[in-house]
Amino acid sequence: MESTHSTDRPTAPAPFLIGRTALITGAAGGIGRACAVAFAAAGARVYVVDRAAEAAEAVAQEIGGIALVVDLSDPVAVDGLPDDADIVVNNAGLQHIAPVHDFPPDRFQLIQRVMVEAPFRIIRRTLPHMYGQEWGRIVNISSVHGLRASPFKSAYVTAKHALEGLSKVVALEGAPYGVTSNCVSPGYVRTPLVEEQIAAQALAHGISTQDVVEQVMLERSAIKRLIEPDEVAHAALWLCSPPSGYVTGTSLPLDGGWTAH
């Protein structure tokens, strides 16, 4: 039987984004950092947006980008971000796991501000620039939870479904101006956020962390491994490449077959 584990890593992209500027949120680690590295390798100037100042500066220095230390839960700070991005990658996110009847309302609100309102504000600010040059790319890092639901994740599932809807509206409005808008919707990615989820799920279900990975996280995935951040980054990068110019208003599942059920 052929192994479902892949050690292949995507090859370095051609520099097709020379002269373009990408704004990437949550870019100090995980998927965001992988996106920053991939987009910079493709020639883009990258705004590394994150609230973790030291990590953001380190990534910016590594790729020759510009670190912007911003708390995305602060609307005033979000509205102060640059409006000259040709490409926006809305990636930043957070998680909280609890039953709906025990879910803290302030935590629910925070997740919506960071994962729905901030992307809306960023897109709203950058679209006039994209419209003016008749080219732009919006890539929203959604999740399989933007397409399917799981228990104990009411705020996250709500936010990702909202992001998918926002992305489709932007696709319809932006099409006459050469702007595309799409979601990348991965399953469980090997990131610090997922490591935190494993521990929280173990507590919620009363099982071991190993059982969480095998029985909870990968139960519905045909491919029995976590996806790597750079795999997600290169899917996002493809949505900004010349061959994808007709792709808009869609969601690209990177879910190992989860949504095939």
- Residue 257, Ramachandran bin (φ over 0: left; ψ between -120 and 50: alpha; else beta): left
> What CATH number is attached to the domain comprising 246?
3.40.50.720
**pLDDT tens string 150-209:** 999 999 999 999 999 999 999 999 999 999 999 999 999 988 878 887 887 788 889 998
Task: Check if the beta carbon of residue 257 is closer than 8 Å to that of residue 222.
Answer: yes
Rounded distance, CA 147 to CA 196, Å?
22
Return the half-sphere exposure (C-beta side, CA atoms, 13 A cut-off) of residue 2.
Answer: 4
Q: How far is the C-alpha of 34 from the C-alpha of 232, rounded, in Å?
A: 8
Q: What is the mean pLDDT of residues 104-108?
A: 98
In the block, which residue shows the tokens 């990590």?
55
Q: Are residues 214 and 108 in the same domain?
A: no
Higher pLDDT pick, 139 / 212: 139
Strand 87-90, strand 21-25: pairing: parallel
User: In this structure, are 71 and 135 located in the same domain?
Assistant: yes
Domain around 83: 21-187+227-252
Single-letter amino acid code for the residue at 181: S
* Whole-number pLDDT of residue 2: 40
Q: Tokens 């409006």 correspond to what residue?
A: 83
Contact in structure between 229 and 34 (CB atoms under 8 Å): yes
User: Both 167 and 201 in a single domain?
Assistant: no
Which residues are catalytically annotated?
Answer: 156
For residue 5, pLDDT over 70 is answered with no
Domain shared by 127 and 204, yes or no? no
User: Quick one: 119 and 173 in the same domain?
Assistant: yes
Cα torsion 38, 135, 86, 175: sign: negative
134 CB neighbour count, 10 Å cutoff: 10
Under 8 Å between Cβ of 45 and 55: no
